[in-house]
């Protein structure tokens, strides 16, 4: 996280399979915030997976949320974690 801050990036994102909550725990532990979940056809096995997207904004703009996965998914939603 410190190196990313030094590199001057405004934010970082990370995703994990909803069926692997330990990855989400790591993201939360380093200060990332859950933003939304989305379904994607996972490749190469070609079956649907729900991913959770986390984000950390280095610029303090907590209102900004990276929307690429939300916009590309036919099934996206916010879970109560």
Domain range enclosing 35 = 2-77
4-56: pLDDT as tens digits: 888 999 999 999 999 999 999 999 999 999 999 999 998 888 999 999 999 99
Torsion of the alpha carbons at 35, 41, 43 and 46, rounded to the nearest 10 = 150
Q: Say what the pTM is.
A: 0.91
C-alpha to C-alpha distance for 21 and 25, rounded to whole angstroms: 6
The CATH number that applies at residue 38 is 3.40.630.30
Q: How many domains does the chain have?
A: 1
């Amino acid at each position: 996280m410190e190196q990313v801050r030094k590199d001057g990036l405004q934010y970082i994102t990370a995703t994990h399979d909803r069926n692997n909550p330990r990855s989400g725990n790591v993201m939360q532990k380093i200060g990332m915030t859950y933003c939304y979940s989305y379904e994607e056809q996972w490749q190469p096995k070609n079956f649907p997976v729900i991913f959770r997207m986390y984000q950390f904004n280095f610029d303090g703009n907590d209102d900004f949320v990276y929307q690429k996965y939300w916009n590309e998914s036919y099934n996206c939603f916010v879970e109560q974690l």
